[in-house]
Structure 1
Amino acid sequence: MMEHKLILDKVSKTFVDGEKRVSVIEDMTLKVNEGEFVAVVGPSGSGKSTFLSLAGALLAPTSGRTFVGGHELSQLSESGLNRIRLEKLGFVFQSSNLIPYLTVIDQLILVSELSGKEREDAKSKAKKMIKRLGLSHRINHYPEQLSGGERQRVAIARAWMNDPELILADEPTASLDSERGKEVVQMLADEVKLRGKAAVMVTHDQRMLDLCDRILYMEDGRFVKEKNQMNEAH
């Protein structure tokens, strides 16, 4: 049976601005399956970043329920939510957000150590991830010594370090040229299929959409259209 890695069940998010209530996400329902790579596109201000924050357990919904890897987020304590973020979720941001004073391998080891893994085990896994992403020759380099594409590959390796159920990527190709951007998104797509995980990518980059299984179009806090690439491919 296909496992749902992410479920949003009638989720809404409202912010209070002075005396005004601003609805950013409205009655959103979504299921992302194991092995599925989903793109979310839409104009600025449509709610894409808020959607990602809800999916990533960084924001609590005003109403509705969010499930990650089978866990309902509203039922968890703050320490439980932190555990979900560390063990079930991987984040890839617009800029790679690498720590400037850590080498490539230490960026990856830190993630595992934060979740209580032994350093030697983390080091062995980090080396494998770095090799898989073609960065072995950069293993002891610092972020300033890497190209933009290399930094994003390190960010992807870091996101996979704790074997998360779900990767959330926020404009991961924004600072990359077309070739490097394609390379980075292809890596995300390959890892999702290879490991039976799932990924959701918010993007403005139309050139990357053919690598995704499903495209969701967002306006005013809602999904207004869906394109299923897998069905069209058959």
Structure 2
Amino acid sequence: MHALEIDQVTVRFRDGEGWTYALRDVSLNLALGEFLAVTGPSGSGKSTLLAVAGLLLTPTAGTVRLGGQDVTGDKANTRTDLRRSDIGFVFQQPHLLGSLTALEQLQMAARLDGDRSKATTEHAKELLNEVGLGSVMHKRPSALSGGQRQRVGIARALMGDPKLLLVDEPTSALDHERGVAIIDLLRNLTTERSLGTLVVTHDLGTLSPDDEVVRLVDGKLAVEQLTH
């Protein structure tokens, strides 16, 4: 089954008397258990692609499916519910609350989604152990490294047990070694949790030659061949 299907999606915006195209007839399938990296120059449409995949933006034309279900024309409240239940977001900066420990960051995310059960704490602990933060789960962001803070963000994105994980430039603030470790973690989680993971990145050096990579240029998609 596919976690995400984007079929001939176009996104355009009014620009004076004409139109500016952010995406042009983009088609992309992401299966459960598949890790896909999207690269491309600034302004190529990467952020727009993530917004469409995350149901934050309705395309001008084309179809978006989650788990085989057409969600393109769903109402705003339905799209919000789907984002909470089916999609996890990992941001370029994890935006952690300075007063909360790593464990409390995950608990807060669950409460915001309406989950106040005791099982939430156990689930959060399991996730923090899974991303390698079991020994620092009671520390606040100021006591964590940049890579550890990004791992908290990844664990937080998994709190709702999504099937689709959307990741925006997760290594941009990290050195090469920590960046490679974060990509390795995302790749492993994709396999172990049977996720569909879409990672937008400018840093091809953190990827493996075996990773599937596509490139966006002027809103159009092409396969990227890694040479490293």
Q: TM-score range by the shorter chain?
A: over 0.9
Correspondence list, 1:8-23, <5 A: 8-23=6-21
Pairing partner for 2:160 from 146, 156, 162: 162
Residue identity matched to 1:196: S
Pairing partner for 1:213 from 207, 211, 226: 211
RMSD of aligned Cα (Å): 1.8
Pairing partner for 2:44 from 46, 57, 76: 46
In structure 1, what is the equivalent of residue 137 of structure 2? Answer: 139
TM-score with structure 2 length normalisation? Answer: 0.93
State the distance in 1 between where 2:39 and 2:210 align: 12
1:157-182 Cα shifts (integer Å, max 9, x gaps): 01111111111111100000111111
TM-score with structure 1 length normalisation? Answer: 0.91
What are the ranges of 5 or more consecutive residues in structure 2 without an aligned counterpart? none
In structure 2, what is the equivalent of residue 232 of structure 1? Answer: none
Correspondence list, 1:1-234, <5 A: 3-210=1-208, 213-227=211-225
What is the CA-CA distance between 1:225 and the residue it aligns to? 2.6
Distance 1:211 1:157, change over 3 A: farther
Residue identity matched to 1:9: D
What are the ranges of 5 or more consecutive residues in structure 1 without an aligned counterpart? 230-234
State the distance in 1 between where 2:226 and 2:134 align: 36
% same residue: 39
The aligned length equals: 227
By percentage of residues, which structure has more helix? Answer: 1
1:27-73 Cα shifts (integer Å, max 9, x gaps): 11110111100001111111111111111111110111111223322
What is the CA-CA distance between 1:8 and the residue it aligns to? 0.5
Task: Select between 20-29 and 94-103 the one with higher mean Cα deviation.
Answer: 94-103
What is the CA-CA distance between 1:17 and the residue it aligns to? 2.6
